[in-house]
Structure 1
Amino acid sequence: MLPLSSCCRHATRSLLAFSDSNAACVGLPALNTQVRNYAKARPGVVKPSSHGFSKAQKKGKGGELEDTDQAAATKRKRYTAFLPMPVAQLTHPLFETDQRNSQLQLQSFHPEILTEAVISQALAFPQNDKDPSRIFGLPRNLLVEYRILSKPCSVIRGVTIDVINRLDLASQEGSTNHRLVIAGSPGCGKSVLLLQALQYCYMRDWIVLYFPRAISLVNSTTSYAYDPRTQTYAQPVFAYQTLQRLLTVNGPRLEQLRTQAGVEVERRGTVPAGASLADLVKVGTKEQVLAPTVLTAVLSELGKQTAFPVLLAIDDFQAIYCKTKYRDPHYSRIQPYHLSMPRLLLEYASGLKQFARGAVVGALSGTDTTFKLPLELAEVLSLPPTSPSGPYAKRVPELQSYAKGLSRVSVPDALAVSEATELFDVWTRDRAIPAAPNDELFLAKYSESGGNARDFIWKGLLSTLTL
């Protein structure tokens, strides 16, 4: 008899031989071959040793892993898109004129000079760290235009003076009688007009709240959660960001205002009466969960005070009247008045809630065709409907009540010749047009675009660029 250890070794060799023979019969690799292949290192993979780190990473001062120079360069390349190159790198003779001369010289946008005397004149927007267009953001088309130009600017039109005069009247009255909607053909300058109104109010010592892309409230790009207390879907992330921007832009003015009543906030107890509005905003910026409740309370307090007028500006205004892309547990699309942020804006746009001094101004947009002008809003503003209408067309009663009382501000479809001439001069002086500027080029581009402001720039002037 063989010893037990010899029997085990003999049985193991027999099993391996049997497995190899069976694998060979069916065309598969042998068992022991597979085991050896698993031990091989895969090509292109660097195994870190026990005494250091891999070549792809290095250890920082705090002990964390940092990327190599190549990875850091990739990050810089990704995050610096649309940013201008440093002047020191512009060594080509083409840029010699830009190095010797300063930026585009324009008169600054200021409330005191906004009269009929500056119609058809380009004014440069102020640039600082707390500028509302910098903190709240801009619509995409305007953002790209201002990246191309050396400084953001706009041409003052007759409708600009009309809106400013109405805002001056609203600064002494409640927002219920001053709920304006800027309408017009696509590309006529509605967003620019809303931005001009925003800058005017901010420089007139108003408290401003600006939503440059209201579509982001309804296109299911931020988190949401059902709130059984209000029976709506809260959007804490967007409310949190709104509070941060509101405090950054209007911080000194909010410091001067006091709460007129105690505000109950979950988990934080009650904010006592007499606390500054800035402190109330900071409560919502400490926890995202509390942000929707705090934002509602802050706007309610702003509606009661009379020290500062309040402007609520909303671009893509029609989006908050459209059925959203958010889904409920039954996978049905949620109505906008069932989401916390659109519902809050609808309450002020409809007059259910108001500011003691101030206005609500919205601008329609046709950039995103998934959020077209709804029938309920089109009928109130006396605009051509974009969907089937008639007595048998379905209408949502809640949206009809939210749209009641809105007033339309019509923007001319085409630029006047004097306005287009000033726009042409601005882009020419900023060297955005490589061709030699002359009357023939101006008239050709003005005729091709039909006077439309957006087409005159993008399909007219910038189409001369060879990229």
Structure 2
Amino acid sequence: MSLVTALRSGRIAHAPAATLAPASAITLQSRGYAAPAKPAQKTASKFKSNKNKDKDKDKRGPRDSGAFRPMSVTNLTHPVFQSEQRTQLKLPVFRPEAITATAATKAMAFPHEESRALKAYGLPRNILVDYLLLAKPCSVVRQVTVDMLDQLDGAAASSSKDNRIVLTGKAGSGKSYLMLQAVQYCIQKQWLTLYIPRAISLVNSSTAYAYDARTQTYGQPAFAQQLLKRFADVNAALLQSLTVQNSYPLEDRTVPTGAPLADLINVGAEFQNYAPTVLNAMLDELALQTKYPVLLAVDDFQALYCTSQYRDPFFRSVKSYHLMLPRALLEFASGKKTLARGAFLGALSMQDTKYRPPLELIEALGLEPLGPSNPYVPRLPELVEYAKGLKNFPVPEQLTVDEAASIYDVWQQSKALHIPLADEMFLAKYTEANGNAGRFVKHGLLETVAM
């Protein structure tokens, strides 16, 4: 058999390489194969049998999760284990009759029955953080509080055209707290109160929106529906005696003249697609009625004058006054629409750099411009019209020593601080903050919170 024939038949693969070398002068390397594997020997398992698992579990007791578990209070009876516990704040109640000039510099707690507005409408973020740490919602009455509430008393019997107030001041001066005090005061004085603590959420594209061809504005159905529910919850007792003065035909129903105002609100609260239209109609009804004064309070008020984050179908920015609810609020703020009885109250916020007060609003309030303000800087005529007639109500930047001492006492009584109660520590924190309320709490007191 020739070599080629052997290669083709496959027999050469099993022949030794040494016998092929002399005949063909070709050196081939034979393929080596591994030895067959030996069968694995069975070894005894090193794990214990689970036959007596239940018996062992009973002997071991419950398994520890590894988390820290403090001992029960009943087991810590020795005086050495007794520590200062968080107690209920003993403060005078925030009542209209108690807000006088002599009450300035005193800390007062908001009454529980009127505090439902805090849960319904919500709070600004800085106040929310404070109330999560304090034992109960409270605030310090300042002289500026007494002055503001005096203006609201005068506005109770007059039109909102002469009572369009904007709280101004540097960051941390206490504008949000002052607005919250005004809202609580008006609720207790039987005012119909609509409070928006975070107006930035109206223009930052955080809620759905839809174009309404009838009004040529963009409605925000989800936000409007929630606002109607909150307003109805806070003002339920007063709404029972109010009726609508106009007829409101909707797609499949009509709210006739003389129907309870609560019925109109319930339609928007139940059906989201009607909510923007119902909210606009409710504001018109509140403006017409004269039985109760009305307060429209908007924190982060400057956001209504800024360009919104919403986009139209051509991806162009939607102006804030092209949104239904911001436009309605701007009309009451500018006096285009007026409340028969009541006031409009706004508060500027300087913290969010995306929503700084625009030049049109700055000039209307007589404030110092944040940027160029020469005649060559363009002004939007629409914003100039919406800012006309607003009154500047400045909030003092610095706390008095007595006001700061009341804030310090509240935090100390809440057992939220781990610093000693000493005049030196108080004066050091007050000096570091330069008397600013926000810095005094955030950088002075909150940095010492015992978490």
TM-score band by shorter chain is: 0.7 to 0.9
Question: Are the counterparts in 2 of residues 130 and 249 from structure 1 also a CA contact under 8 Å?
Answer: no
Report the Cα distance in structure 2 between the residues aligned to 1:466 and 1:206, rounded to whole angstroms: 40
Q: TM-score normalised to the size of structure 2?
A: 0.81
Between stretches 382-391 and 198-207, larger displacement belongs to 382-391
Q: Report the alpha carbon displacement of residue 341 of structure 1 after superposing the two structures with TM.
A: 1.3
Amino acid at match of 1:450: N
Q: Report the alpha carbon displacement of residue 425 of structure 1 after superposing the two structures with TM.
A: 1.1
Partner of 1:288: 272
Partner of 2:85, secondary structure, is: helix
Deviations 1:191-228 (A, max 9, x none): 00000000000000000000000000000000001111
Partner of 1:37: none
Amino acid at match of 2:208: S
Deviations 1:49-71 (A, max 9, x none): xxxxxxxxxxxxxxxxxxxxxxx
Q: Report the alpha carbon displacement of residue 302 of structure 1 after superposing the two structures with TM.
A: 0.9
Structure 2 alignment gaps of length 5 or more: 1-70
Deviations 1:106-154 (A, max 9, x none): 0000001111010000000122486212210000010010010001111
Partner of 2:389, secondary structure, is: coil
Partner of 1:13: none
Q: 1:88 to 1:359 in 2, by over 3 A?
A: farther
Question: Are the counterparts in 2 of residues 317 and 365 from structure 1 also a CA contact under 8 Å?
Answer: yes
Query: Is 2:314 the counterpart of 1:330?
Result: yes
Query: Is 2:109 the counterpart of 1:124?
Result: yes
Q: Report the alpha carbon displacement of residue 431 of structure 1 after superposing the two structures with TM.
A: 1.2
Match of 1:387 among 341, 365, 371: 371
Question: Are the counterparts in 2 of residues 109 and 125 from structure 1 also a CA contact under 8 Å?
Answer: yes
Correspondences of 1:191-206 after superposition (within 5 Å): 191-206=176-191
Q: 1:335 to 1:90 in 2, by over 3 A?
A: farther
Q: Report the alpha carbon displacement of residue 94 of structure 1 after superposing the two structures with TM.
A: 7.4
Question: Are the counterparts in 1 of residues 219 and 323 from structure 2 also a CA contact under 8 Å?
Answer: yes
Amino acid at match of 1:111: P
Query: Is 2:404 the counterpart of 1:417?
Result: no
Q: 1:278 to 1:94 in 2, by over 3 A?
A: farther
Question: Are the counterparts in 1 of residues 114 and 188 from structure 2 also a CA contact under 8 Å?
Answer: no
Partner of 1:143: 128
Report the Cα distance in structure 2 between the residues aligned to 1:208 and 1:251, rounded to whole angstroms: 11
Match of 1:364 among 323, 334, 348: 348
Query: Is 2:173 the counterpart of 1:188?
Result: yes
Report the Cα distance in structure 2 between the residues aligned to 1:427 and 1:333, rounded to whole angstroms: 45
Partner of 1:156: 141
Partner of 2:247: 262
Partner of 1:72: none
Q: 1:464 to 1:233 in 2, by over 3 A?
A: same
Partner of 1:98: 85
Q: CA RMSD in A?
A: 1.9
Partner of 1:394, secondary structure, is: coil
Question: Are the counterparts in 2 of residues 130 and 248 from structure 1 also a CA contact under 8 Å?
Answer: no
Partner of 2:439: 455
Q: Percent identity?
A: 51
Q: Report the alpha carbon displacement of residue 465 of structure 1 after superposing the two structures with TM.
A: 3.4
Question: Are the counterparts in 1 of residues 110 and 138 from structure 2 also a CA contact under 8 Å?
Answer: yes
Q: 1:352 to 1:95 in 2, by over 3 A?
A: farther
Question: Are the counterparts in 1 of residues 203 and 309 from structure 2 also a CA contact under 8 Å?
Answer: yes
Q: Report the alpha carbon displacement of residue 329 of structure 1 after superposing the two structures with TM.
A: 1.4
Match of 2:164 among 179, 199, 204: 179
Question: Are the counterparts in 2 of residues 427 and 433 from structure 1 also a CA contact under 8 Å?
Answer: yes
Query: Is 2:424 the counterpart of 1:437?
Result: no
Report the Cα distance in structure 2 between the residues aligned to 1:258 and 1:155, rounded to whole angstroms: 38
Question: Are the counterparts in 2 of residues 120 and 156 from structure 1 also a CA contact under 8 Å?
Answer: yes
Deviations 1:163-210 (A, max 9, x none): 101100100001110000000010010000000000000000000000
Question: Are the counterparts in 1 of residues 280 and 325 from structure 2 also a CA contact under 8 Å?
Answer: no
Partner of 2:325: 341
Report the Cα distance in structure 2 between the residues aligned to 1:412 and 1:342, rounded to whole angstroms: 28
Counting matched residue pairs gives 379
Partner of 2:264, secondary structure, is: helix
Question: Are the counterparts in 2 of residues 373 and 385 from structure 1 also a CA contact under 8 Å?
Answer: no
Amino acid at match of 1:127: H
Question: Are the counterparts in 1 of residues 307 and 318 from structure 2 also a CA contact under 8 Å?
Answer: yes
Partner of 1:107, secondary structure, is: coil
Question: Are the counterparts in 2 of residues 315 and 362 from structure 1 also a CA contact under 8 Å?
Answer: yes
Question: Are the counterparts in 2 of residues 224 and 233 from structure 1 also a CA contact under 8 Å?
Answer: yes
Report the Cα distance in structure 2 between the residues aligned to 1:465 and 1:218, rounded to whole angstroms: 34
Q: TM-score normalised to the size of structure 1?
A: 0.78
Report the Cα distance in structure 1 between the residues aligned to 2:225 and 2:251, rounded to whole angstroms: 15
Between stretches 228-237 and 217-226, larger displacement belongs to 228-237
Query: Is 2:236 the counterpart of 1:251?
Result: yes
Report the Cα distance in structure 1 between the residues aligned to 2:297 and 2:207, rounded to whole angstroms: 21
Structure 1 alignment gaps of length 5 or more: 1-86
Q: Report the alpha carbon displacement of residue 285 of structure 1 after superposing the two structures with TM.
A: 1.1
Partner of 1:406: 390
Report the Cα distance in structure 1 between the residues aligned to 2:259 and 2:104, rounded to whole angstroms: 44
Q: 1:404 to 1:89 in 2, by over 3 A?
A: farther
Amino acid at match of 1:456: F
Report the Cα distance in structure 2 between the residues aligned to 1:94 and 1:316, rounded to whole angstroms: 47
Between stretches 257-266 and 272-281, larger displacement belongs to 257-266
Amino acid at match of 1:330: F
Report the Cα distance in structure 1 between the residues aligned to 2:75 and 2:450, rounded to whole angstroms: 20
Report the Cα distance in structure 1 between the residues aligned to 2:369 and 2:250, rounded to whole angstroms: 43
Report the Cα distance in structure 1 between the residues aligned to 2:128 and 2:292, rounded to whole angstroms: 29
Report the Cα distance in structure 2 between the residues aligned to 1:90 and 1:399, rounded to whole angstroms: 65
Deviations 1:32-89 (A, max 9, x none): xxxxxxxxxxxxxxxxxxxxxxxxxxxxxxxxxxxxxxxxxxxxxxxxxxxxxxx988
